[in-house]
Structure 1
Amino acid sequence: MYQHNSYVPLSYLGMPMSRIELHSFKITLNSDSTMTATTIDWPIQLSHLGGTWQVTGSCHLWRINSQHTIMIDCGAFQGISDNNELATQVEVERLKAVCITHAHLDHVGRLPQLLALGYRGPIYCTAATHALMQLVLGDSLQLAGIKDESALAAFSRLLARQVVICRYGVPTNILPSLTVTFEEAGHILGSSYLCFDITPLNKRVVFSGDLGCRASPLLNDPTPLNRADLLILESTYGDRLHGDRSQRITQLEAVIKRALSDGGAILIPAFSIGRTQELLYEFEQIWHQHQDAKHINFPEIVIDSPMANRVTDIYQHHDSLWDEASQAKQSAGRHPLDFRHAHRVGEHALHLTLVNRLKSTAEPVIVIAGSGMCTGGRIINYLDVLIEDPRTDILFVGYQAAGTLGATIQQAAAGQTVIINQQKRRVNAQVSTLAGYSAHADQSELLAFIGDATLPVGEVRLVHGAAPAQYALAEKIRQRFNIPVTITAETATP
């Protein structure tokens, strides 16, 4: 079980827990309302149905009172054998609102189950999150074996009927005396952290969702925090710092030039949402810088991922959310996500044709394909036929979880064998890893999110991080800000 219903101070740090105890505030509604009255208690009562001692399955229940509950995110567990069952953990009849921070599967993957349980209330999110969420959940349902197009379309219509689009910086009433304001989180397009204001008590509870790194391509930096009496903060990289992001393009260019000298293909496993678009942005920058160079003949780029191509369309449709630099490039006639050297592959037959062609010719080309950790998707077929060719370069631009094919290849010594498509393949390709590609804020940025707040943060609860990351970040928060911290990993059972 992944439930946590009480505040647990960091006793091992010898830190006192201080909270302001306030009485419930009661409001009587108009006679035409479906609810006759509501109360909001402080301190708030939270249950975490995931995202406690791990970085997946984010789902948080806020018990407003005995009759009313709201949910923040409804994510699926990924990569581990956890129970995704909601039926025994959520009383749907008491659930009055669902608020979604962003469209990654570990934050939205259990929404189909919630709707199947009968939830028909509002689902609050940004427009970009809604668009991406439709893709992510449709793909997830198909992978789960639901192939019937009419059933998938019916789910999409049901989801759309319940979604309430929220704009950044604009408060939305979700219950009497409770509003939510979506603020930019800089993690992926449309991502948000959520500011809940309990208006009668003048209290603010903030859920960070996943916070992004500063200076990420295309995306604005996270909006500075104004205030939080309680901050529920992610801690994915709470115990580490990212590599030097300023050198990414230089390193990427060096790999490309080396691969050109080999005359083979560059294979880049990449996630469809965020990472593929970052790569396209940086490739366009490299190509633009060398557009007049006669001595460099850069290879073509193939984006062989139907999902990534649809996501890129959504990124382009919502270009008003891009950062100033990206919008300026587009205004100047440059198209960071759609330039002449980038080519999309959609149909599976065309994918197979390209795989067989590269198997025969090994011509220079850059292939971006999913999945990002080589656990499936079209990248597998490319690896299968090209990993034994010493002219091939395999470039990892993201974390490879233990046990995945990506991690196995990344750690393999030259000539070692790996299993691909149930066949032994020798790793003769050159394998490289570029640092600095992460969509999550690191420790310094998480601390800055707290420290740069307009008003001092009152209390922090850490979620969405492994236990070592939570403990390390909690220690830093205590040292720097001297505020109460709760570690959810302490009270969750792995």
Structure 2
Amino acid sequence: MLAAGFTGPIFCSEASAHLLPLVLEDALKVGVTRDEQLINGFLRTIARQIVPCKFNAWVEFPAFNGIKAHFRLKKAGHILGSAYVEIKHWVAGKPFLTVFSGDLGAPYSPLLPAPKPPYAADIVVIESTYGDKLHDNRRDRIKRLEQALLHSLQDNGTVLFPAFSIGRTQELLYELETLIHRLRGKKIHQHLGWDELTVIVDSPLAAKFNVAYQQLAACWDDEALKRLQEGRHPLNFSQLYTIDSHAEHLAAVNLLSSTRKPAIVIAASGMCEGGRVVNYLKAMLGDPVHQVVFVGYQARGTLGAAIQQYGPRGGYVNIDGQRIDIKAEVLTLSGYSAHADQQGLTRFIKGMRKRPKQVRIVHGDVDAKKALQTALAAYADKVVIAE
């Protein structure tokens, strides 16, 4: 939009205003240019146009054709800073409210408060990513993570988590700190205690987001804030090591693959389509002592999906033109989506004090949209699927 000449304000939450330049800088470096002058010029432009907005405060839109309208942002709980939007304009002298859900967060996710439904709306436009599914609860998810680590670390070796730098990495760290704190003093096996387990984040962008998340701790939920008050640091605990430079990254890959030192590594990208995780996969997929644990959706056609499909059956993948037989164990842990499931989406509509006149379902597969339409029928005057 900026390249097309857009010079207007970019409204976002205060946390998003903090994180957005980090995301865009990385996107430019990965997909557009390495020219620092161009990147810095772009970021200066963004900084001039961003308008940080407080949650729950009405903001007036710039006037357009004499029409006045206001909006306010409310916490969506998807990633730090994410918001759903209420827009108010006037029709025949009466206020008309439209709510755009954006991506709604799953309840009880680490770090972030669950989204609270709006009081009322004439129209709600709602996502349906998981409109036909129910997620596992948080307690079961952490238990499965513990069991997966106990199983995976029996042979020492590296447990590799491909994960996106924002959101998923911080959730994993939060839950790993939960396990290590609860199980401190206990053994994973005879020669390895939970206190001795090394956790590595190998992603410069994830490291930047970890710092940003800590700087924005005021946005965390009550549980996470209580941990801070107790002197715990869910994103910066003593066993956590962050790798920054490319040289350090290559050294870590070589050390872990050659020595089989027990460790947990979280590396980008989440679907293994580039990023530092690829070097770990090239070095470790052929060794049965290591494990690859997927905690996020693997889109069809990605390297992650191929490993997920062919790994359990002893198949192979091609990485950078090289055939690699998959001897490492491949595991998938469900329940780590940051999106609300059908129950969460339904709660968003059901929890409104006044029934919406219309709900429009967007952003989901056909089956998910239809299932959510059925689930919401009792809570709105009209529920339609938007094409």
Q: TM-score, normalised by structure 2?
A: 0.94
Q: Which amino acid aligns with 1:249?
A: I
Say if 2:108 is the partner of 1:221. no
Structure 2 residue matching 1:164: 3-state secondary structure: strand
Say if 2:165 is the partner of 1:272. yes
Counterpart for residue 359 of structure 2: 460
Decide which structure has greater helix share. Answer: 2
Structure 1 residue matching 2:147: 3-state secondary structure: helix
Counterpart for residue 292 of structure 2: 394
Counterpart for residue 378 of structure 1: 276
Structure 2 residue matching 1:301: 3-state secondary structure: strand
For residue 75 of structure 2, the aligned residue among 184, 194, 203 is 184
Q: Which amino acid aligns with 1:190?
A: G
Say if 2:21 is the partner of 1:128. no
Q: Which amino acid aligns with 1:132?
A: L
For residue 95 of structure 2, the aligned residue among 198, 202, 210 is 202
Percent of matched pairs sharing the same residue: 43
Residues in 2 aligned to 1:224 and 1:488: alpha-carbon distance in whole angstroms: 21
Counterpart for residue 116 of structure 1: 3
Q: Which amino acid aligns with 2:73?
A: F
Residues in 1 aligned to 2:94 and 2:247: alpha-carbon distance in whole angstroms: 60
Select between 128-137 and 376-385 the one with higher mean Cα deviation.
128-137
Residues in 2 aligned to 1:333 and 1:465: alpha-carbon distance in whole angstroms: 41
Counterpart for residue 143 of structure 1: 30
Deviations 1:308-343 (A, max 9, x none): 111111110100000011001001110000001110
Structure 1 residue matching 2:241: 3-state secondary structure: strand
Residues in 1 aligned to 2:76 and 2:100: alpha-carbon distance in whole angstroms: 11
Aligned-residue RMSD, C-alpha: 1.3
Select between 124-133 and 319-328 the one with higher mean Cα deviation.
124-133
Give the number of the structure with larger relative contact order, counting CA–CA contacts within 8 Å between residues 6 or more apart. 2
Deviations 1:340-368 (A, max 9, x none): 11100010011001111122111111100
Residues in 1 aligned to 2:171 and 2:32: alpha-carbon distance in whole angstroms: 31
Counterpart for residue 326 of structure 1: 224
The Cα shift of 1:371 comes to 0.6
Structure 2 residue matching 1:115: 3-state secondary structure: coil
Counterpart for residue 342 of structure 2: 443
The answer (yes or no) to whether the contact 2:358–2:380 under 8 Å persists in 1 is no
The answer (yes or no) to whether the contact 2:153–2:159 under 8 Å persists in 1 is no
Select between 192-201 and 344-353 the one with higher mean Cα deviation.
192-201
Report how many aligned residue pairs link the two structures.
Answer: 375
For residue 143 of structure 2, the aligned residue among 247, 250, 254 is 250
The Cα shift of 1:290 comes to 1.7
Q: List alignment gaps of at least 5 residues for structure 2.
A: none
The answer (yes or no) to whether the contact 1:181–1:196 under 8 Å persists in 2 is yes
The answer (yes or no) to whether the contact 1:414–1:428 under 8 Å persists in 2 is no
Say if 2:188 is the partner of 1:297. no
Q: Which amino acid aligns with 2:314?
A: G
Residues in 1 aligned to 2:383 and 2:138: alpha-carbon distance in whole angstroms: 30
For residue 432 of structure 1, the aligned residue among 306, 311, 331 is 331
Q: Which amino acid aligns with 1:421?
A: D
Q: Which amino acid aligns with 2:285?
A: I
Structure 1 residue matching 2:73: 3-state secondary structure: strand
Counterpart for residue 57 of structure 2: 170
Select between 347-356 and 236-245 the one with higher mean Cα deviation.
236-245
Structure 2 residue matching 1:368: 3-state secondary structure: strand
Residues in 2 aligned to 1:321 and 1:286: alpha-carbon distance in whole angstroms: 23
The Cα shift of 1:414 comes to 3.5
Say if 2:156 is the partner of 1:263. yes
For residue 236 of structure 1, the aligned residue among 129, 142, 152 is 129
Say if 2:313 is the partner of 1:422. no
Q: Which amino acid aligns with 1:259?
A: S
1:88-107 aligned within 5 A: none
Residues in 1 aligned to 2:237 and 2:80: alpha-carbon distance in whole angstroms: 20
Say if 2:43 is the partner of 1:156. yes
The answer (yes or no) to whether the contact 2:355–2:381 under 8 Å persists in 1 is no
The answer (yes or no) to whether the contact 1:206–1:232 under 8 Å persists in 2 is yes
Residues in 1 aligned to 2:182 and 2:225: alpha-carbon distance in whole angstroms: 18
Q: Which amino acid aligns with 1:195?
A: E
Residues in 2 aligned to 1:281 and 1:435: alpha-carbon distance in whole angstroms: 17
The answer (yes or no) to whether the contact 1:238–1:470 under 8 Å persists in 2 is yes
Structure 1 residue matching 2:313: 3-state secondary structure: coil
The answer (yes or no) to whether the contact 1:369–1:378 under 8 Å persists in 2 is yes
The answer (yes or no) to whether the contact 1:213–1:441 under 8 Å persists in 2 is yes
Counterpart for residue 408 of structure 1: 306
Residues in 2 aligned to 1:441 and 1:290: alpha-carbon distance in whole angstroms: 30
Q: Which amino acid aligns with 1:473?
A: L
Q: Which amino acid aligns with 2:71?
A: V
Q: Which amino acid aligns with 2:261?
A: E
The answer (yes or no) to whether the contact 2:69–2:87 under 8 Å persists in 1 is yes
The Cα shift of 1:150 comes to 1.2
Rg larger in structure: 1
Q: Which amino acid aligns with 1:297?
A: G
Residues in 1 aligned to 2:95 and 2:14: alpha-carbon distance in whole angstroms: 28
Q: TM-score, normalised by structure 1?
A: 0.74
Q: Which amino acid aligns with 1:371?
A: S
Deviations 1:193-218 (A, max 9, x none): 00011154211011101000000000
Q: List alignment gaps of at least 5 residues for structure 1.
A: 1-113, 490-494
Counterpart for residue 60 of structure 1: none
The answer (yes or no) to whether the contact 1:219–1:323 under 8 Å persists in 2 is yes
Q: Which amino acid aligns with 2:130?
A: Y
Residues in 2 aligned to 1:250 and 1:240: alpha-carbon distance in whole angstroms: 21
Residues in 1 aligned to 2:59 and 2:314: alpha-carbon distance in whole angstroms: 58
Q: Which amino acid aligns with 2:193?
A: N
Say if 2:279 is the partner of 1:358. no
The answer (yes or no) to whether the contact 1:267–1:367 under 8 Å persists in 2 is yes
Q: Which amino acid aligns with 2:236?
A: D
The Cα shift of 1:482 comes to 5.0
The answer (yes or no) to whether the contact 1:169–1:183 under 8 Å persists in 2 is yes
Residues in 1 aligned to 2:31 and 2:238: alpha-carbon distance in whole angstroms: 36
Residues in 2 aligned to 1:119 and 1:175: alpha-carbon distance in whole angstroms: 14
The Cα shift of 1:477 comes to 1.8
Counterpart for residue 12 of structure 1: none
